[in-house]
Amino acid sequence: MVAAAIGRLGGEGEAMRLVEPIVGATLVIIVAGVLVGRVVGV
């Protein structure tokens, strides 16, 4: 939707390649935090 709004039709794949590692790293950090919280007993 953003690619269409800025006039770059077909640019969705490029945007996903840029955002995907950031989202993946964020998920890893969240899961690690939850697991550490369970081990510590917070």
Domain boundaries, the chain: 2-40
Is pLDDT above 80 for 34?
yes
Please write the tens of the pLDDT for every residue from 13-25.
877 888 899 999 9
Q: Find, among 25, 12, 39, the residue nearest to 2 by Cα.
A: 12
Q: How far is CA 4 from CA 17, 18, 23, 25, in A?
A: 17, 17, 22, 27
User: Which pLDDT band holds residue 7 (cuts at 50, 70, 90)?
Assistant: confident
- Please give the mean pLDDT across all residues of the chain: 84
